[in-house]
Amino acid sequence: MARRSDLHARIHAAVRRIPRGRVATYGQIAELARIGPHPRVVGYALHALTDASDVPWHRVVNAAGRVSLRSSPGADSLQRVLLQREGVRFDVRGRIDLARFRWKPRGAPPRPAKPARRLGRRRTF
């Protein structure tokens, strides 16, 4: 991987592209920043932002469409309020409908479908 400052700059640039009223997942930002399958690195980069930052960190949510818990008290509530002000809606379980609100950047490769889970017992030979 690249140096931390380079990674953070690429992550911040990707997050700045998310338009108002849309969200992206940590994994989606990792893909767009070309850092591979490392969504936690996105979380670390956003956690390191200062309060004066212009990066719209609140537009990044987890893969389940939920606001991730923060170490700072009240930060998760703030994220929800900021998203609601932009028109993002939450269901009764606190999730965002990613089919409706996920940002779909132009020119980005389509997201691969998740493989179907196999049901039943695994055979061992």
Distance CA(5)–CA(25), nearest Å, equals 21
Distance CA(79)–CA(94), nearest Å, equals 12
Compute how many other C-beta atoms are within 10 angstroms of the C-beta atom of residue 26.
21
Token pair 């929800």 is found at 80
* pTM exceeds 0.75, yes or no: yes
Tens-place pLDDT, residues 56-98: 999 999 999 999 887 777 778 999 999 999 999 999 999 999 9
Domain ranges of the chain: 4-101
Out of 3.20.20.20, 1.10.10.10, 1.20.140.10, 2.60.40.2470, which CATH number does the structure's domain 4-101 have?
1.10.10.10
